[in-house]
Amino acid sequence: MASVIITLRIMPESVETDLKCIEEKVKTFVSEYGGEVGKVEEKPVAFGLKALEIVFVSNEDIGSTDKLESNIASIPGVNSVEVTDVRRAIG
């Protein structure tokens, strides 16, 4: 049973979208999924728009993140969700 480190990129619908509100809801969904959030960053995209990048650790036995991604996509103000990186934790 290894752990995996998963990075999600969450794009808001507009510049006015409250990223802190989205962040709190995402942390809840990740916790329900069985993961533990390690790092959250706001990354500039263009014209003042910022993406939310969430890095969390999960057990690889849980499997696919499809359900987690659809839950996050259902949050008001979220335009898209994408897994940008998955790595096996060493140690």
pLDDT digits (tens, 9 = 90+) for 8-34: 999 999 999 999 999 999 999 999 999
Number of domains in the chain: 1
Strands 3-12 and 78-88 come out as: antiparallel
Q: What is the mean pLDDT of residues 40-49?
A: 95
CATH number of the domain to which 27 belongs: 3.30.70.60
Question: What pLDDT band is residue 90 in, cutting at 50, 70 and 90?
Answer: confident
Mean pLDDT of the chain: 95
Name the residue range of residue 55's domain.
3-88
pLDDT digits (tens, 9 = 90+) for 52-69: 999 999 999 998 999 999
Per-residue pLDDT band at 91 (split at 50, 70, 90): low
**60 and 35 Cβ atoms separated by less than 8 Å:** no
Please state, for a pLDDT cut of 70, what percent of the chain lies above it: 99
Residue 10 is predicted with a pLDDT of 98
